[in-house]
Structure 1
């Protein structure tokens, strides 16, 4: 069947669309160039960080072109959120997936053929069905947008087989431009995306991977649950995600936090679809503040006001870490990315790769994890390392990570190293770090007495230091190649040949002073607005009320940054309200009245 000709632009003034529909006054870096490439019929590959404005790159040309834009998206929840946001802006958008009733799908197809829909979101499984492709042949197509395009690549960190077949769209519709978008792709993955999607001489835009509003912190893992509780008590109801490596760990952490009174829920693939949907919806609507999850809680998170992402365990790749931490601070306001790190976890994670049968794939995964381990162990600016990994080289440290804010201090660690190494040796190199620390600190345990280790010369020699202090020292000795742990024998510690020189006092060993408690430099996330905090609280309450009435998440009404600007500028007329970032004509008509009335009442109360 002949393909309907690709529509030409009918609204070349994309600036008007940006202002009037989306309520923004200027494009971000790269957006206008990507949009112009789409309007001129070119394929494109767009790499922008999470929260960097990828969606506008295809939503604006979708409205500037006369036909239909088809958006391929991997998750139902992500489609639902994005369509809800577009509909709140007055944009004719719909999605089709397994959650849509058959009669509703029939109605959507009718509206598509009548030209009433501008953007249609579909899953890759759906868009590849022969019947669906046949329907598309009868429609005037403007653009294909492939979201989360790293799923196309075998080298991407979240490969999905159906994505690999999306080049069929290019073969079936060779004249329809295709835009691939992702926030996470190294050089190999970028090349593979172009190849797998059969993009023709694409316009490639690579924006900065830097998320300057996110503060990166890595804490040495001592007593992770106590560390977590201490941190969460400072967050005062903020939205956050805690990632764990296993379902069991997720359930354990969520249960303990719930018992401690935190508003928390667990999320992993072992839960039913209904349970997962309940958690995701509750988190989006601010009814649940904290989600403890495996990586199954992933790309569907479209919530802009996540203030922290915490990794309870080390991720398996820098790509995964970057994308997961990128779910914090999508609104551009200050956010934190925290990881608890135990160097012993490196060996445990490496054992997972032994089950990968494809040798080449296994080597790739091992290499990626080695980069992640190096990032966790580094003593230089976290952001520099992260950006350099994505080939965005930064000469200067960022000033907004734990290394920059609290630089490591060094000391002559020869004596404590000798004490620790001697203790390992005298305990016959048969025990793990926990036991060695107990001996050094003179713990009175039955195990130590049974082994007669209370009689060792090193027993109690380190009682003036905490358990965490000695654990940090032992880990550093591993880093220096003086100790090794055998993970096949219960992580028993053994001296290496290099340790002899230290024990013989042949050179001075410099160690980093153990950081026994992380320094978190907290700040008002909205401080730059100099806003009226009482008014902001009232606006948030009104937003939640209106969102619940419309059965949408609060950020679909307005995000926190928009509310803060309202609390700063106190608009009370239509023209003033439209000057607030994030307010377009549709939202002015729908929500302007109640918000301006609240602001007027607040100002009148202040004057009285």
Structure 2
């Protein structure tokens, strides 16, 4: 974004974001969403989890006069967001049932004294006449409704109490009302605006694609072992395991605890006290894994969840998008594994049809039909073999033009596919044709399997040429292949009973002019290792040992302040610090996510820890990192790693034999930064003679020390030399010696 494109509103917003949140640019759609708030226009904003929805109303609330009213459905979400805002230096509070009489009185005084920029309140409390009357006298600048999909009976998490929020336009006719959600189809978005009575609402819909999430689908066979492997891959990191039933939650959590995992169960059968304690343990990193039903998650603001495992199939793609989306809210790569069996769909169908599921819209016949259709869509996703990102994005009505997402089991080449899928698919589609496109997947499967059931024989389908064509295959596998052909668009389910029809693509398939993909029998994927992906790339340049030390420091500071660790700093900030290794407060302030208050609160502690690490381990500090505001890009052809532009500019000076101090002077860089450039130069040019930068006597002494103690680390060499040779000199000599041995 160029300076000429910045409006006065945007300049104020950017200044606010930098001061309180440490951000110097807008993420996709934030500029437009914030402009609607600043201008007082109503809006419906749909951004994926981790897309920065909260900042869309928080930053304008701080930049504007008055107090923003934020409607939030859960007490835990209110507390998390208020804690995070306060840690950034923003005056915020909440009104809910957890407050004592004195605490509630204090919040009311803050409201009357115009001391708050944001007030969080649950819809039930907001709609009390006393609350609305009190707020009508306050200087309310805007109203923001979080988790706004709860308003619509067309959505996947309808909450009747949200319908009463239409009163906001009556009580506050002169302010903008803004609805925010991560998952909403076009029908749900329109319903949200209609139910709230929004005036010509601006519809702002971001991409539903979560670039940083790596989606995988597997057969549920060996479920516990698969869950264990994911946890082992993310040992020490936070994760969520979703189960369909309470019984499975308890069973899975107990099994993980038995394996030494810090896991806690969470479901509606636990007492309120136990649920709160287990959730707090997870948020504060005392528990690594939470095993839960879908009762857990809405409003969980924990940004560093590195994996989400579904131990059973969710009931809709909307639910899956939201639940899986709780991984990687900080934008860092995270894993999403879905384990499913065909029995999952049958279980959900029984739950939905018995109306035991409170999430089935408003209980009407249309809502029930919609829930069953959504279940079919989820089944199609599980059985599909096309790009997972593409399936999700297109479900929400957005185009997806990438040939390879580079972040799912399909595009990473992890699926175990049938060798001659065309012939197998032709047999299945031919059977649909022989059945005159009048029957569903179950009956078609029985004919292909050569079933002797009475109905098959009565209809004379045992006399079809396709009868028994796949009798050597398991019935369940044939049924899965049918669903895969539907998912890939070769077959289409139509009508109430899901009658199979052949599409134009299916007709091309019969002619051998299309290439289907079918999974091997009973395999939704394989455990073959994936190649280099964005999870690996996100660690480029990060000093892992320093990162772990900073995590420990963060945990200590969070415990002292009785807040979750991510309220201090998120993993994104810690990784940036472990790349830059700033040894001064001025360098620290340039790390991602460091605002003014956090600089004051935590700067000294982190700078001291980084400086001590650099000194102890003999590594350079204050590494220059070229900032980027670009969103993650789709992977293309792999690039060779290499030095950055600044390092390359130093290479010509090193070729002249200039000393580090002279190069630093000419380039206007710190000597420690230039030392890092020199290290890259030595490796890049395979330099074997260190004497332009280290005198011969010192170089000889270092070489002799290496011969005596080896080159496992720099610290033993430094100690062997009596501390008389600095780490930079040791590193230079060691690099040249290694180059000499490679020649």
TM range (shorter): 0.7 to 0.9
Hey, what does 1:369 align to over in structure 2? 375
SS in 2 for 1:13: helix
Q: Structure 1 residue 175 and structure 2 residue 170: aligned?
A: no
Alpha-carbon contact 1:12-1:64 (below 8 Å) kept: no
**Equivalent residue, structure 2, for 1:581:** 592
Which of 572, 594, 609 is the aligned partner of 1:561? 572
Which residue is 1:410 aligned to?
418
For 2:195 and 2:108, the matched residues in 1 are separated by: 29
- The Cα shift of 1:298 comes to 1.7
Q: How does 1:226-241 map to 2 (within 5 A)?
A: 226-241=225-240
Q: Aligned runs of 1:327-366 on 2, under 5 Å?
A: 327-356=326-355, 358-366=364-372
The corresponding residue for 2:305 is 306
Question: Is residue 2:75 matched to residue 1:68?
Answer: no
**Secondary structure of 1:91's aligned partner:** coil
What is the distance in 1 between the residues matched to 2:11 and 2:447? 76
Distance 1:102 1:185 in 2: 38
Structure 2 SS opposite 1:392: coil
SS at match of 2:411: helix
Distance 1:374 1:273 in 2: 36
C-alpha distance in 1 between matches for 2:118 and 2:538: 37
Question: In the alignment, which residue of structure 2 is the partner of 1:96?
Answer: 95
User: 1:372-387, aligned counterparts within 5 Å?
Assistant: 372-387=378-393
Long gaps (5+) in structure 1: 1-8, 431-460, 463-468, 482-495, 497-506
Aligned pairs for 1:499-518 within 5 A: 512-514=519-521, 515=523, 517-518=526-527
Q: Which of 376-385 and 228-237 deviates more?
A: 228-237
Q: CA deviation at 1:599?
A: 1.1
Larger relative contact order (Cα-Cα within 8 Å, sequence gap ≥ 6): 1
Displacement, 1:472?
Answer: 6.8
State the Cα deviation string for residues 24-80 of structure 1 (Å, max 9, x = none). 111112112211211111111111000000011101111111101010000000110
Aligned partner of 1:124 in structure 2 is: 123
Shift in Å at residue 563 of structure 1? 0.7
Inter-partner Cα distance in structure 1 for 2:259 and 2:25: 45
Greater Cα radius of gyration, structure 1 or 2: 2
After superposition, the CA RMSD in angstroms is: 3.0
Corresponding residue pairs, total:
541
Partner of 1:392: 398
* Distance 1:134-1:394 versus aligned 2 partners, 3 A rule: same
Contact 1:476 1:511 in 2 (8 A): no
| Helix, strand or coil at the partner of 1:205 | strand
- The TM-score, its normalising length taken from structure 2, stands at 0.68
Distance 1:12 1:602, change over 3 A: closer
Range moving further from structure 2, 44-53 or 218-227? 218-227
Flag the 1:512–1:32 CA change in 2: closer, same or farther, 3 A. closer
**Which residues of structure 2 form unaligned runs of 5+?**
1-7, 356-362, 429-444, 455-470, 486-499, 501-510, 619-726, 728-743
Aligned partners of 1:43 and 1:200 also within 8 Å: yes
Residues 263, 290 of structure 1: 8 Å contact kept: yes
**SS of residue in 2 equivalent to 1:216:** strand
Matches within 5 A, 1:203-242: 203-242=202-241
Show CA shifts across 1:571-601 (max 9, x none): 1222211111100110000100110111111
Deviation of the 1:510 alpha carbon: 9.3
Shift of 1:531: 1.5
**Map of 1:461-480 to 2, 5 A cutoff?**
473=477, 475-476=479-480, 479=483
CA-to-aligned-CA distance 1:124-166 (integer Å, 9 cap, x gap): 0011000000101111110000000000111110111111110
Counterparts of 2:15 and 2:391, CA distance in 1: 39
What residue is the counterpart of 1:31 in the other structure? 30
SS in 2 for 1:296: coil
| Distance in 2, Cα, partners of 1:529 & 1:517 | 27
Alpha carbons of 1:11 and 1:226: their partners in 2 closer, same or farther (altered >3 Å)?
A: closer
User: 1:526·1:561 contact (CA, 8 Å) conserved in 2?
Assistant: no
Residue 600 (1) aligns with residue 611 (2) = yes
SS in 1 for 2:233: coil
Aligned to 2:555: 544
Paired residues of 1:45 and 1:205 also in contact (CA < 8 A): yes
Task: Note closer, same or farther for the CA distance 1:139–1:395 as it changes in structure 2 (3 Å cut).
Answer: same
Deviates more, 1:241-250 or 1:395-404: 395-404
Following superposition, which runs of at least 4 residues in structure 1 exceed 4 angstroms of deviation?
A: 9-12, 412-415, 420-426, 469-472, 477-481, 507-511, 522-526
